Amino acid sequence: MVASMNRRVPEEKIKPFRLVKYFTFTGLVVIFLVTLILTILNTHWVKSIQRKKAEDYAHALIENLNHQVFIQFILPVGMKFGRVQLRNPDQLERMDNVVRSTLYSFKVEDLNIYSMNNTISYSFDEGRIGVVAVGGTALEQAKVGKSTSRLVRRGGFLEILLGFPKEVQLVTFAPLRWEEPLGRITDTVLGVVEIVQDLSEDYQTIFRIQILVVITCTVLMGALFVVLLFVVKRGEAIIEQRAEERLRLKEQLGRAERLSAMGEMAAGISHEIRNPLGIIRSSAELLKKKVAKIDPTSAIPDIIIEEATRLNGIITDFINFARPRSPKFSPCRIEDVIEKNLAFLAAPIANKNYTIRKAFQDPLPEIMADAPMLHQSFLNLFINAMQAMPEGGEIGIRLNADGGSVTIQIEDEGRGIPGDLLEKVWDPFFTTKDKGTGLGLGIVKNIIESHGGSIGIANRDPRGARVIVTLPVRLPESNV
């Protein structure tokens, strides 16, 4: 039954929560993917801004270089030599000084100046001076007055695919224009300026920032996932526990209803049995008188009377358990009830060498209870203690009051109760004795609980058992 109940719990009760868990984890994955996409888009946007900034920077450098070359080189050289001829070492040196002083401290990796016939007139690399460049689209567009820029990427395939190559250069082609004496640049193109800027460090910085963002998002999402996983596991455990409790209570309720119906039926049958049983007993007593005249040694009538009496006791216990009567509350003293039990059991206590050890708190408060019912319940407990020690022993009785309750402890020196049977001793018809109905402790439990109290049983160390009964001094309003 437990296995089938455990199968039903995850199938019937946990399924809605699994759906919630599925959507929660899916949402977490979607959030993480969206975060990665946003990170990539932001990185692309930052790189676009960086490129635009580098292009504007290059155009500003070229405009400044155009002005300085015209003022400090073209005009003085034209006036001194009559014409610009960079093959002349003096003119080349003067041109190099002007260019390098103009671009000093600026981030320019390489520079080339082309004539209108695509010949490199000046370069940071002197070996390229005089070389005729292969005409490209950017060079041709610069010759007609249009500036262009392009990115040059170098690196491994994966580096270029991810957008972060080892080397990134921005190559800008812009026209070198004629400038009027008053400083106004005209549309007349004298040549083409090529500036190469190294953006590798900027791109690596962007890449590091992107990696940092991805790692941060991963750590945060991982932490959120762990927290969510813990919450989900905790929620599953709670839901499963509650589902198991509901099913257990449902099983117990069904069992209680079946037992109640069977108890009512059996109680009715038992009540009907008592009448013919009484007739059998009275007939046996009459038979005993007649047989005594014929055969005084015959024990048959005594056996009939004894068994009828025992059967009547069993039926009485069953009826008391199946149809417990409601207590009639009145003020009483628990120590008087205990003393009455001990007086009733005085003969077997003396005959079997039982020792009674009493520890009563003085004074004890009066309680509201049904004294005869308590007398019956404690009588059963004392008899159980005596039966646990058939050869005699010590029975301890302790009474004390704490706040609004009175506690009664009854201890014996018997063998105790096996651990796996401690919870079963309250079940009806369960007994470890050769003779008995197994209803005694059930009747005691019903009586104590009808008084608003509680009862428990445990093993003592090193041996024996202890029964603890707690009774309220004043009853709850519902029981008054």
pLDDT of residue 232: 76
pLDDT of residue 203: 80
pLDDT of residue 276: 77
For helices 200-294 and 300-322, angle between their N-to-C axes, nearest 10 degrees: 150
3-state secondary structure of 429: coil
Token match 């039966």: residue?
387
Are 160 and 153 within 8 A, CB to CB? yes
Q: Give the helix/strand (H/E) hosting 191.
A: strand 185-198
DSSP class per residue in 100-155: HHHHTTS--SEEEEE-TTSBEEEESSGGGTTPBPPP-HHHHHHHTT--EEEEEEES
Domain extents for the chain? Answer: 327-479
Closest by CA to 424, choosing from 441, 449, 446, 409, is: 441
- Considering the entire predicted model, what is its pTM? 0.44
Residue 331 is classified by DSSP as E
Joined together, the tokens standing for residue 98 give 């002007």
Residues facing residue 458 across a β-bridge: 466
| Peptide bond just before 363 cis, omega within 30 deg | yes
| Peptide bond just before 462 cis, omega within 30 deg | yes
Give the whole-angstrom CA distance, residue 305 versus residue 449: 35
Residues 6+ apart with CB under 8 A from 416: 459, 460, 463, 464, 465
pLDDT of residue 17: 59
Cα separations in angstroms, 304 against 145, 147, 275, 299 = 135, 129, 16, 9
Joined together, the tokens standing for residue 299 give 């024990």
CATH code for the part of the protein at 327-479: 3.30.565.10
For residue 454, report the phi and psi dihedrals to the nearest 5 degrees.
Answer: -145, 155
pLDDT of residue 263: 63
- Which amino acid, 176? L
Q: How many CB atoms lie within 10 A of CB 111?
A: 19
- What are all long-range contacts of 228-237, with beta carbons under 8 Å and residues at least 24 apart? 228/24, 228/25, 228/28, 232/21, 232/24, 235/17, 236/14, 236/17, 236/21
Residues 6+ apart with CB under 8 A from 320: 439, 443
Helix ranges (H only) for 104-199 are 137-143, 157-162
pLDDT of residue 409: 92
pLDDT of residue 8: 47
pLDDT of residue 18: 66
Average pLDDT by stretches of 10, the chain with 480 residues: 44 56 75 80 82 86 84 81 77 85 83 87 85 79 87 78 77 84 66 86 81 82 80 80 86 76 65 70 75 73 75 66 73 91 88 88 88 88 87 90 88 81 67 61 82 87 87 66
